[in-house]
Chain A
Amino acid sequence: MADTLPLAEAKSLVARARAGDFAALERLYRTYERPVYTLARRLTKSAEDAEDVLQETFLEVCRSLRQWRGEGSLWGWIRTIAASKALMRYRREKLREWEPLEDDVLAARAGVDVPLRMDLEAALERLPERSRAVVWLHDVEGYTHEEIAELMGMTTSFSKSQLARAHDRLRRWLDAGVGA
């Protein structure tokens, strides 16, 4: 998503919010709540987790407003906070999804039959969390593999191979052929 706030307006709102103007803070919240929540939904495993990330992100934004110097996009700054908050949950929860599981194991966990063909939304949802995070951050948000590696605490080559494996799986699930 491109930043919807012009830089001058963003700077003005941030300065007012820093000085304790809650109307300005609310305007920032309303501008970015949807993109932050969408990013959080793509990087976490449930709507509840995404809501928590949304809240944690804006509390961090309130605390750290002085750190945004108005030199880059405000959305870029907020987005990185949101991504860090979402990815931090992996570490906290010690999820063991790092190595991709077999499709039937994933399906059994979800309690559903593996459909012969899925739409992209469902296929994306079905990816292991970290693979989904790499796909989303790289292909949609435009993060480089180096940036993803730094955010997720892994190597650049691992980020590249996660992206490739995720695309292989998406291809399999999206293909029209029976037995995909």
Chain B
Amino acid sequence: MSEMRHGTSEELLALRDGEGSAWIREHVAQCAACVAELERLEQVRSQLRALPSFAPPRDRWPVVRQAARLERRRRQASWWAGTLAAAAMVVLSLLVLRHRSPAPQDASLRQAMAESAAMEQVFRSLAPDDRAMTGRTAGVVADLEDRLAQVDAALNDPSAQRADPGRVAELWRQRAGLLSALVDVHETRATYAGL
């Protein structure tokens, strides 16, 4: 008579995890040794989960904070570089347009750019960085900043501008609007905080 085969560790672990084959299910129903092994595997898992956690030996927060600050500054510098590049692109476009016949959209573009520049100045004067804000406000600010980044990216795309020159003024108006909304958010926050 051949000796009965027991379940392998892999088969029993699969059963423990609720994925066992039909054979191992049937086998365990009639094999006390495999039942004991299955219980042992369950116990080991419970004991592993009960092992104590470790506390980091040193506080790494100051390093993380410093690196995060540097990265944020780099991102802002690159945002400003993008803004300046967009402005330079439009100035160039204007110079080119000036040598052609004057179009009514030129005045509209200049006005939109001036509004954007004015709003930018007000926004920066509020020094919005590094101030605490509520989660709701932060969500609004993050959304506005995302949309602003999208507008800047569009303003930095010369091929799109060549394809639709009328769109540039519209983008600058959108930019001024988004900056105005950011100013509103920060001014409201400053009023509530008594700043």
Contact = CB atoms under 8 A, between A and B. Distances in A.
Interface in B134-148: 134-139, 141-142, 145-146
A62 to B, nearest CB: 4
Contacts of B41: 167
Contact of A124 (B10, B48, B72): B48
A11 B135 contact: yes
A168 interface: yes
A33 interface: yes
Interface in A127-173: 135-136, 139-140, 160-161, 163-165, 167-168, 170-171
Contact of B54 (A25, A41, A55, A167): A41
A168 B56 CA distance: 31
Contacts of B51: 120-121, 124, 140
B138 A168 contact: no
A35 B55 CA distance: 9
B56 A54 contact: yes
Given A19-B138, A19-B142, A22-B130, A140 B49 contact: yes
10 contacts: A18-B138, A19-B141, A22-B65, A24-B138, A34-B54, A37-B53, A63-B71, A66-B146, A140-B51, A167-B41
B63 A55 contact: yes
Contacts of A26: 61, 65
A123 to B, nearest CB: 10
A1 B9 CA distance: 26
Interface string B120-140: 000000001111111111110
Contacts of B132: 16, 21, 23-24
A30 interface: yes
* Interface residue tally on B, bucketed by range: 35 or more
A121 B41 CA distance: 16
A15 interface: yes
A167 B15 CA distance: 14
A15 B142 contact: yes
B15 to A, nearest CB: 12
Query: Main secondary structure on chain A at its contact with chain B?
Result: helix
B75 to A, nearest CB: 9
Interface centre among B14, B53, B58 (most CB of A within 10 A): B53
B13 interface: yes
Contacts of B10: 160-161, 163-164
Contacts of B138: 12, 15-19, 21, 24
A55 B131 CA distance: 24
Nearest to A16: B138
B193 interface: no
Nearest to A10: B135
A41 B53 CA distance: 9
B45 interface: yes
A87 B79 CA distance: 34
B68 A34 contact: no
